[in-house]
Amino acid sequence: MGTFDAIGIAGSGMTVYQTWLNAISDNLANLNTVRSTDEEAFRARYVHASSVEYGEPAGARVDGVALGSAEGRLTYEPTNPLADEQGYVRYPDIDMSSQMTYLIMAQRAYQANAAVVDRAKESYQAALQIGR
């Protein structure tokens, strides 16, 4: 492990959590996106990440983004202009409370990684001052 690996590892974590935050914000922004029943519902985004323990650089990485169900949930809204003959429209199957929980988790993890970067930077600066 090299001298500056802490910044790289925490930076990779920040990248993962930024991707997760972007996916959550997409999900929350499209929570009430309505579609007709002959169209797919908005598909929630789910980030897949993994740790990189061997090889360079160490840290974390995003393996991909999976999409949720296109089925969504049917809701009876006969006055909606997109309603079918039976009065149904399609909404995404996204739970707001779980998305808000994920949002808090991702924010805290991002902040923790940012704090590691700050502390490592301060340590490296202090080490440089000792050498003067």
Q: Tell me the two tokens of residue 47.
A: 């980030």
Higher pLDDT, 54 or 126: 126
Q: pLDDT of 2-25, one tens digit each? A: 657 888 889 999 999 999 999 999
Residue 57 has pLDDT above 60, yes or no: yes
Q: 52 pLDDT band (50/70/90 cuts)? A: confident
Hey, what long-range contacts does 94-97 have (CB within 8 A, 24 or more apart)? 94/27, 94/28, 94/30, 94/31, 94/42, 94/44, 94/68, 96/28, 96/31
Question: What pLDDT sits at residue 90?
Answer: 97
Higher per-residue pLDDT: 130 or 68: 68
* Crossing angle of the two packed helices 96-130 and 5-29, in degrees rounded to 10: 160
- Give the mean model confidence (pLDDT) for residues 37-60: 89
pLDDT for the residue 93: 94
Contact 73, 44 (CB under 8 A): no
Do the Cβ atoms of 57 and 82 come closer than 8 Å? no
Domain boundaries, the chain: 5-130
Q: Tell me the pLDDT band of 64, cut-offs 50, 70 and 90.
A: very high
Task: Share the mean pLDDT of the chain.
Answer: 91
